[in-house]
Each structure stands twice: as C-alpha cells, then as structure tokens.
C-alpha cells in the first residue's frame, strides 16, 4: 500500500470531522474520495499533507508514519496536492510559480548560494528547464511568461497541477480538479490525469462530478459525517443503494458523458 489511514480522527470544536477513518491508497490506482459537503474529505487531505494535525490514529506513507511531520517534509517525501480554491502566486508568472514548486527538490548550501558558485548556477538552470517541461506537460508552454491573473480559470487549474508535479511526487492529491469547469475543460482534465498515470504517479482526488468520477476512478471511497460508508470500484459504488439514495441521486446520474 502506498498510504494507510488507521483509525484517523479529527475534532473541530466538539464536532467530529473524521471518526476513526481507516482506508488505503494503492500504488498505481486512481482513487476518488466522494461524499456530501462537510463529509470530511478536505480534512482527510489536510491531515495527509501535514496542514492539520490528527487527534487520534496514524497515517503511513510507504510504511513510514508521517502524521507527525510538517507539510514541507511530507512534500519532500513525495506527496503533492492542489487545492479546492486555487492557491497560486498571482503576481508571478506561470513559469515562476512552477519554479517555486521545483525548488523543494533542489538543495545547495548557504555558502554556495551567497558566493554564487557555479554549482548554484547549474541547479538554478535545472530548475528553469524542468519548470518549462512541466508547463509543456500540462499544455501551458505558451503561457510561461504570463502572470497568473492573465490566465483563464482552467489554465490556472492546470498550472497548479504543473507546480505540484514539479516536486516529482509519487502521490498527487487533487481537490475538486473540475470545479467550475466547462465540459470541454473537464475532458482536458481527464486526459491530463491519464497522462499523469502514465508517469507512474498515483492520483487521489476529491470530486463532486459523478460522471467524471466514474470515468476516471479505479477505486472510490465514500465519506459521510466523517465515516466511510462505502468503498469499491465504480460498478460497486453505482450499485450500492445507500450511496445512490443518500449521496449520488438517481441511477441516471451515473451515466457517463459521451466522449
């Protein structure tokens, strides 16, 4: 298993956001986390990435406990994410945003940086070129020198993915990657995730668009009120009466969009 949550609990002001949740993320499988608003999905993401501390339980990544580690350590280990609300440096260019993400993979001494030794220059050049490669991967090579505010909403979403990929993760977390997108933009995200899968990166994502979830997921976990209420592949989730009635609406809602 790439990640194991074991009895994870989180309480906010007397309310259980997560109630002893246990689930696993398998390496190489695109895994969806779904459920109504307030189910605990983003809290689970925040615990996994070190933005929030759990109250009980454990989180293991590649069999190493990580629930006590700060966010930047967890990122260096190989876990990257995007956010439901876009968090880019809006005064920087697209290229500069990706370079910021890439710096976490590049380490040189303070002495080298201050003295501007050739080693520092070479590493900065590597950051520059790799950032361009990640922009090209998400289809934004022509926008490298555009500031974030000049990009469309869909382009900003893809830029967040490029910045996350620049850390070279084994696990990529996407928080509502198609929120607010047109049908055409959603199709672009599906294609992008399929290309990310080919890189060997495991994708774990939160999403409310059920046609998107059923199209791209190999495993689905359903949360409600901080509890896992169902888990399985797309077919199992589609045929689970509790899920259909409580979270996903009528069976017709599961029909895939035409491609």
Do 79 and 171 touch, CB atoms closer than 8 A? yes
pLDDT for position 105? 66
What residues pair up with 204 in beta bridges, in sequence order?
31, 173
pLDDT for position 113? 53
Range in 25-39, 72-86, 92-106, 112-126 with the lowest mean pLDDT:
112-126
Do 9 and 52 touch, CB atoms closer than 8 A? no
pLDDT tens digits for range 157-176: 999 999 999 999 999 999 99
What residues pair up with 31 in beta bridges, in sequence order?
204, 219
Report whether pLDDT(86) > 60.
yes
Report whether pLDDT(116) > 80.
no
pLDDT band at 241 (very low <50, low <70, confident <90, very high): confident
pLDDT tens digits for range 223-237: 988 999 999 998 898
Task: Give the DSSP per-residue string, 198-234.
Answer: HTT-EEEEE-S-HHHHHHH-SEEEEEETTEEEEEE-H
The Cβ of residue 182 has, within 10 Å, a number of other Cβ atoms equal to: 11
pLDDT for position 110? 52
Report whether pLDDT(256) > 50.
no
Strand 219-224 to strand 31-34: parallel, antiparallel, or no bridges (unpaired)?
Answer: parallel
How far apart are the C-alpha atoms of 228 and 242, rounded to whole Å? 12
Domains and CATH numbers, the chain: 1-78+169-259 (3.40.50.300), 90-168 (no CATH)
Report whether pLDDT(253) > 60.
no
Do 9 and 54 touch, CB atoms closer than 8 A? yes
What average pLDDT is seen over the chain?
88
How far apart are the C-alpha atoms of 90 and 148, rounded to whole Å? 5
**Is 75 or 105 the better-scoring residue by pLDDT?**
75
Q: Quick one: tokens of 168?
A: 């070279």
Report whether pLDDT(244) > 80.
no
How far apart are the C-alpha atoms of 172 and 16, rounded to whole Å? 26
pLDDT for position 151? 95
Task: Give the alpha-carbon dihedral of 19, 20, 21, 26, to 10 degrees.
Answer: 160
pLDDT for position 112? 56
How far apart are the C-alpha atoms of 193 and 207, rounded to whole Å? 13
Find all residues with CB under 8 Å of 22, minimum gap 6, and list them.
4, 5, 6, 7, 8, 57, 228
How far apart are the C-alpha atoms of 24 and 104, rounded to whole Å? 27
Do 34 and 221 touch, CB atoms closer than 8 A? yes
pLDDT band at 13 (very low <50, low <70, confident <90, very high): confident
pLDDT band at 34 (very low <50, low <70, confident <90, very high): very high
pLDDT tens digits for range 180-224: 888 899 999 999 999 999 999 999 999 999 889 999 999 999 998
pLDDT for position 108? 54
Q: Quick one: tokens of 233?
A: 């592949």
């Amino acid at each position: 298993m790439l990640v194991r949550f074991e009895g994870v609990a989180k309480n906010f002001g007397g309310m259980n956001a997560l109630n002893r949740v246990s689930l696993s993320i398998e390496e190489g499988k695109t895994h969806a986390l779904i459920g109504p608003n307030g189910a605990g999905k983003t809290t689970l993401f925040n615990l996994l990435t070190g933005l929030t501390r759990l109250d009980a339980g454990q989180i293991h990544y590649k069999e190493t406990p990580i629930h006590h580690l700060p966010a930047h350590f967890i990122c260096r280990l190989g876990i990257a994410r995007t956010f439901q609300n876009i968090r880019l440096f809006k005064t920087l260019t697209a290229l500069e945003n990706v370079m910021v993400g890439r710096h976490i993979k590049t380490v040189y001494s303070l002495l080298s940086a201050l003295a501007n030794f050739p080693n520092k220059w070479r590493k900065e050049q590597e950051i520059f070129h790799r950032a361009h490669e990640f922009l090209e991967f998400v289809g934004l090579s022509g926008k490298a020198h555009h500031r974030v505010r000049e990009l469309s909403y869909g382009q900003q979403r893809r830029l967040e993915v490029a910045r996350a990929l620049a850390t070279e993760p084994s696990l990529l977390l996407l928080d509502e990657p198609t929120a607010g997108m047109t049908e055409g933009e959603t199709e672009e995200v599906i294609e992008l995730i399929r290309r990310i899968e080919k890189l060997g990166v495991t994708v774990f994502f939160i999403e409310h668009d059920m046609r998107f979830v059923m199209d791209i997921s190999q495993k689905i976990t359903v949360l409600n009120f901080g509890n896992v209420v169902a888990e399985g592949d797309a077919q199992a989730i589609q045929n689970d009466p509790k899920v259909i009635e409580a979270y996903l609406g009528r069976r017709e809602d599961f029909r895939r969009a035409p491609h």
